[in-house]
Amino acid sequence: MLGEVAYVTLLVRDTDACGAVYGGQLGLAEIESGRDGDDGEVCVFAIGPSALVLRADPAAPVAASPPAGSGDLAPPPAVVDHFALHTTSADDAHAALKDGGIAFLGEPSTTPVGHRNMQRTLLAFKDPNGLHVQISETVDPRPHLEGRRAAKRRMAALEYTRERVPPGTLDSGAGNTDGVRPTDNRPSLFGGFDHISTYCADFDRTRAFYKEQLGLEE
């Protein structure tokens, strides 16, 4: 059976700039970095039970800002529209990250009850590669959703400690040169991926694939 998301890989033009945001400003623990054979430079960060892999690619799409008066530009072609990081307090995350230099696209906003997803309080910003990143707190009070809320609380409760690992053993395939997993036990703002939003050309067919063939719960 399928469990949590193991990892998400982003193709980025500048791993240093993106790494400074995810590792520095967001405070994610870097668990591996280096070169992955002939595939180039990678940097891996822990997010709850999952990992975020930044892989260098000079051809990676970058969301462009339109010149003044030119109208809106269409977004670049991409598989992932955005992803959201789960937090237990959007207000605390907003205050801490704003002080750390994250330029949010707006103030925290709460989706209405009856939204197609669980009710959430959301924040959003763009990373150096132009990817839309959300921060999400689940605030839905409906009793029948307690199981899903509890699963998110368990995910957010995970902590990481500094430990040594055999070089090159992470699933991402990145080259761990010194065998050290440089994580720590500081309280983290994030407890995993809350959701991942993807583009699809055929919604009904894609929905059936995830529900019926993969057995995911809607």
pLDDT at 215 over 70: yes
- In which order are the strands placed within the sheet that holds 109-110? 109-110, 120-126, 132-138, 80-86, 193-198
Contact 22, 129 (CB under 8 A): no
Residue 70 lies in a domain: no
Residue 218 lies in a domain: no
State in Å, rounded, how far the first CA of the chain is from the last one: 15
Q: How high is the pLDDT of residue 45? A: 92
Residue 1 lies in a domain: no
Torsion of CA 170, 173, 178, 179, to 10 degrees: 20
Q: How high is the pLDDT of residue 167? A: 39
User: How many domains does the chain contain in total?
Assistant: 1
Q: How high is the pLDDT of residue 115? A: 62
Residue 116 lies in a domain: yes
Least confidently predicted of 3-12, 61-70, 71-80, 164-173: 164-173
d(CA 106, CA 45): 26
The residue segments making up the domain with residue 141 are 7-59+77-213
pLDDT at 138 over 70: yes
Block residue for tokens 């899903």: 148
Residue 2 lies in a domain: no
Residues 69-84: tens digit of each pLDDT: 444 545 444 467 789 9
d(CA 163, CA 180): 6
Residue 87 lies in a domain: yes
User: Which two structure tokens, joined as six digits, stand for 146?
Assistant: 């307690």
CATH for 114: 3.10.180.10
Torsion of CA 177, 190, 133, 171, to 10 degrees: 30
Q: How high is the pLDDT of residue 88? A: 87
Count of CA atoms in the C-beta half-sphere (13 A) of 67: 1
Please tell me the pTM assigned to this model: 0.75
Q: How high is the pLDDT of residue 172? A: 39
Q: How high is the pLDDT of residue 38? A: 64
Mean pLDDT along residues 49-58: 89
Q: How high is the pLDDT of residue 68? A: 42
Residue 72 lies in a domain: no
pLDDT at 92 over 60: yes
Contact 72, 84 (CB under 8 A): no
